[in-house]
A and B are shown apart, each in its own frame.
Chain A
Amino acid sequence: MSRISGGQIDRSKTLRFSFDGVSYTGHPGDTLASALLANNVRLMGRSFKYHRPRGVISAGSEEPNAIVELRSGARQEPNTRATVIELFDGLQAQSQNRWPSLKFDAMAINDRLSPFFAAGFYYKTFMWPAAFWEKIYEPIIRRAAGLGSLSKQDDPDTYDKGFLHCDLLIIGAGPAGLSAALTAGRAGARVILADEDFRMGGRLNAETLEIGGASGADWAAKTVLELGSMPNVRLMPRSTVMGAFDHGIYGAVERVSDHLAEPLPGKPRQTLWRIYTKHAILAAGATERPIAFENNDRPGIMLAGALRAYANRWGVAVGEKVAVFTNNDDGLRTVADLKAKGLDVTLIDARKGDEIIDSAGRLGLKSITIRRANGQTETLHVTALGVSGGWNPSLNIASNHRGRPIWDDQIAAFIPAPESIAGLTCAGAAAGAMSTHAALTTGANHAIAALADLGLNAIADIPQAEDAPLNLTPAWYVHSGKGRAWVDQQNDVTVKDVKLAKQEGFVSVEHLKRYTTLGMATDQGKTSNVLGLAVMAELTGKSIPETGTTIYRPPYTPVAMGVLGGRARGHDFKPIRQTPSHKWATEQGAIFVEVGYWLRAQWLPRAGETTWRQSVDREVLQTRKSAGICDVTTLGKIDIQGTDAGLFLDRVYANTFGSLAVGKVRYGLMLREDGMVMDDGTTARLGQNEYVMTTTTANAVPVFRHLEYCRQVLWPDLDVQLISTTEAWAQYSVAGPNARKLLEKLVDQDISDAAFPYMACGAITVQGTRARLFRISFSGELAYEIAVPTRYGDAMIRALVEAGREFDAVVYGTEALGVMRVEKGHVAGNELNGQSSALNMGLGKMVSRKKDSIGMVLSQREGMTAPNGYRLVGVKPVNPSETLTAGAHFLAKGAAALAENDGGWLTSVVYSPHLGHSIALGYLKSGDNRKGERLRSVNLLANTDVEVEIVSPHFVDPEGERLRG
């Protein structure tokens, strides 16, 4: 019978759960750990390296041993601390890192072989023969490593994120946090009180101490109730503040649904809150630390405060015969509380020279061996042992900005240094103020100080509470015997390992941790780091603060990857941008492709077409033969106005723009300041002081940013105003010999060649609707781009298709667009790779040296103008039936496939239905004077080797007669 009277569990309700397939019962308010202990289950896990049987040692998030796989199937959650799992009906948990069972674990052989597995042994062996590492040694190591398993199935739950803003964030709802919240809340400040526990109150829930004449737990409950009634206070239980980031931003994970069998519909499993606060108070309490002795890791041996917590909060006696081993007065509280619960308790007080030198009990504690101060040893039969080596302030968050904690001799522990983090102060045990009175007082005082900064007056109202000193005499480990005394229980780091690290020169705390893996387990060394330091300090004869400090990085406790990702997963990873013709294209069965965030029609299959090539070939041929329509809305559009707009364009484009007439469009080449090509596009002059620039789809945002930079930072007195109009206009390209005839059916104006020549632009109307028309061509055909307000985009594509019916016009997608631009020799993404200059692209003459423009000067550096540099060329296979591959490299005939023979590469390859064979663009060294040469296009990844001829990149209509037609 382990359940005893009292505690904050609801005994009127029974919850069923199972562990390793065995069914048990517990009550609301239980954790998995308390419920298992109540069912006399002490053995809960196995250690990492030696597979030692382990039980729970703590009652909180610092737990290193009792970690289990929670739930099953796709919701299986490895390495979950039984001490923080809130019990729910139907809970299933399994032990991990054991085979075949928790009680009989074959891997426990490692424990017998432990002398061979000393710290760092793997750095000294497994080196011969070299080939054995990946094949033999490493697979064994990898299989043995790790604790729990993931299901390898998609996580079925959803996660959410949000932002909260407050004046004061209080981390931890123990006496200090509650006192701070109450003080600040009553003063009217916006307060967030976050606590990782599902029940606020912190240690008060685990103690029998009184506050203001009531039990501490009752005072906490009453305070929480009052805070809950304040509209300016937000209580966040089940919320772990994971870290402190810059400028008062804290991350907190709220476990919204982890206490349920599964989340309610529409609700997330967890929410990541980014809390923006003016001040923060860290009131996270303290974590008890053990004293190391031989075989101090058996199930049933736990921290004294945890033993007391299980009795007081959960009504669980871990054993009827109990011992307490302590070096401070807090241990005496455990003795008193357990005795009050009617248990048989023996005190071993290290301050009197009494020590525990060994324990026994393979799967659970059966006895301890005590060595009294007078040297006599005795064996005591107990099934539970509480150990207290003192308390370490939970200063983790305060050291997130790498501020070094300072040593406090009074409590023999590190406390946070003041100003470790701007805007954060520490209160209560987290600051080393260990009594209840000190917690209440420091909490209130820090709240008052924080509020004073904000101009708010707050008043402290401190109830009566104990103010007893800890009376601690440091004792870190028991010097006795040849056996192992555990420092880091999960990772199986013992006092001997620390000694070995010292012996081999791994003395600094960083080396110690890395060499022995001390503090690297899932508990992040919460109970072991300071102990490890203390052992090293003793070995080196230095003080602990001289030996090193221990600082903590986020997160405070491990955080699920899912909650950090939030809503952004699957199709919601990034938003989708739909083009104006999306609805129509979907109706046509178009195949879509991701282009940045856009979805564009890649091709539009017609009945009977079974391969993408059939569709694309048809789209290209029909466009060149008659007319084709393409949604080109995705190109960036930037409205540029102002009396200096022309001058501005001259600065940002390498070629000349000032001379562009109203009603005309010009191709523009934009360089980065380093002289490489940034982007290209066309800019139309719509009015005296009004231009519209188009960018490539990919660079719409960076170009706009760059233009704002030029306008505000470089030339702040130019009269230029910018705004993006990419989304405002639905824009369609209409190309092909019948393009004009097609458009003439729709537009209300004269667009004959005389009225609207090549490179003309202007405002028109389409059946009365305002529109813009640009006579520009990417395909090389007679072509226009027509833009209407986006709301008419759907109607426009339907009108174009309807008007095109008599010409058998096609709508083409990005593939056909790509084919036609390669046929025409226009550069696009694969050529605009950020590594290429205008000269590389065959556009060197466009860079005007008669004016200063971005990139002009640096484009003239010797390495960028060398005659043997890459130049854009056209490529065709000598044998037209052979296929080219983009990314294949040029080699001379007979040349070996070695870097020194590398002539360049094919950037873009398409099948030209017009020419009936594969064609390509490429960058070839000295390519501008190698037309007619025969080379090889070699793709070593597919073992293809094709003889090619270097040709002009303009495969179709090199004289440009069609587009002027």
Chain B
Amino acid sequence: MANPLKSLTPLGHDAPITETIGAVTITENTGTALASLAARLGYEVEVASIAQTAAIPLPGPGRIEFAETYAAIWLGPEQWMIEAPFATHEDITAILKPIFTETASITEQTDAWVRFDITAPDLPALFERLFNYDLRRAGVGAATRTVIDHLGCYVIRRADTEVSILGPRSSAHSLHHALTTAAKATF
């Protein structure tokens, strides 16, 4: 019995699903590998420089920055969440650790989160029911953590009409339910 283990999406399916409610589409996205990266004390400058060389963007507070392979979300002082394509970076920490060696603490986060990509013509109208973050004033590239129905989530504005929500994986169903309920109430 040497079958490799088969993965499930956070919603418990073999492959991600998409739901459309009026003008809103909510898609589960499992195509991204995630790792947190935190500069070791005293190595902040080195980390910035290594990241630059490796084409890993390290944005400032409240932002996500995209580069060719990597994108990064600011998590906290000297700490980021690095995004990379899952297909090529499944074991993302194994890729990042040799790059940063002992200048940074790197922790796998891929499976800690469920990611929903939501598109709608008027995203703020939907999300003003869900979180206390002024999406109307947050342009593309805004990324922050906030609360959706008691769940700590990251809100990432990828485009005018596209927002990603990273929520705790174990509550994928509750988060999905909150999103669909709000979509029905809004549009």
Contact = CB atoms under 8 A, between A and B. Distances in A.
A432 to B, nearest CB: 34
B164 interface: no
A721 B79 contact: yes
Nearest to A644: B41
Contacts of A729: 111
A392 B22 CA distance: 47
A793 B9 CA distance: 10
B170 interface: yes
A597 interface: yes
A557 B65 CA distance: 47
A423 to B, nearest CB: 17
B185 interface: yes
B109 interface: yes
Given A163-B128, A164-B128, A791-B7, A575 B150 contact: yes
A828 interface: no
B19 interface: no
B19 to A, nearest CB: 14
Interface residues of A, number: 66
A689 B79 CA distance: 17
Interface stretch (B51-59, B66-74, B130-138, B154-162): B130-138
Interface in B152-183: 168-175, 177-178, 181-182
Given A642-B40, A795-B7, A725 B128 contact: no
Interface in B75-119: 79, 91, 102, 105, 107-113
Given A576-B174, A790-B112, A791-B9, A727 B169 contact: yes
A719 B40 contact: yes
Contacts of A727: 111-113, 168-170
Contacts of B150: 568, 574-575, 597
A717 B151 CA distance: 31
A268 B110 contact: no
Among B10, B30, B170, B173, max chain A CB count under 10 A is at: B170
Contacts of B128: 162-164
Contacts of B1: 745, 767, 799, 802-803
A789 B111 contact: yes
Contact of A725 (B4, B107, B182): B107
Contact of B5 (A579, A641, A766, A803): A766
A768 B7 CA distance: 13
Contact of B136 (A165, A579, A796): A165
B149 A575 contact: yes
Nearest to B171: A575
A794 B174 contact: no
A266 B40 contact: no
A568 B149 contact: yes
Contacts of A794: 6, 8, 12
B144 interface: no
B3 A767 contact: yes
Contacts of A799: 1, 5
A725 B108 contact: yes
Contacts of B2: 767
Contacts of B111: 727-730, 789-791
B41 A718 contact: yes
B160 to A, nearest CB: 15
B132 A578 contact: no
Interface string A617-653: 0000000000000000100000101111000000000
Contact of B105 (A162, A583, A642): A642
A601 to B, nearest CB: 14
A161 B41 CA distance: 42
Given A578-B170, A767-B3, A641 B107 contact: yes
B139 to A, nearest CB: 15
A728 B171 contact: no
Contacts of A134: none
A279 to B, nearest CB: 16
A461 to B, nearest CB: 27
A829 B112 CA distance: 25
A266 B149 CA distance: 18
Contacts of B7: 789, 791-792, 795
A767 B178 CA distance: 37
A267 interface: yes
A633 B169 CA distance: 12
Nearest to A576: B174
Contacts of B185: 158, 160, 266-268, 271
Contacts of B30: 791
B6 A577 contact: no
Interface in A215-274: 265-268, 271, 274
11 contacts: A165-B137, A567-B181, A572-B149, A572-B177, A577-B171, A578-B172, A721-B38, A767-B5, A770-B91, A789-B7, A791-B10
Interface of A: 158, 160-165, 265-268, 271, 274, 276, 567-568, 572, 574-579, 582-583, 597-598, 633, 639, 641-644, 689-690, 717-721, 723-730, 745, 766-770, 788-796, 799, 802-803
Interface of B: 1-10, 12, 30, 36, 38, 40-42, 79, 91, 102, 105, 107-113, 128-134, 136-137, 149-151, 168-175, 177-178, 181-182, 184-185
Given A728-B109, A790-B111, 17 more contacts: A160-B182, A163-B132, A165-B137, A266-B181, A267-B185, A577-B170, A577-B171, A597-B150, A642-B41, A642-B105, A644-B41, A723-B38, A725-B112, A769-B4, A770-B91, A793-B8, A794-B12
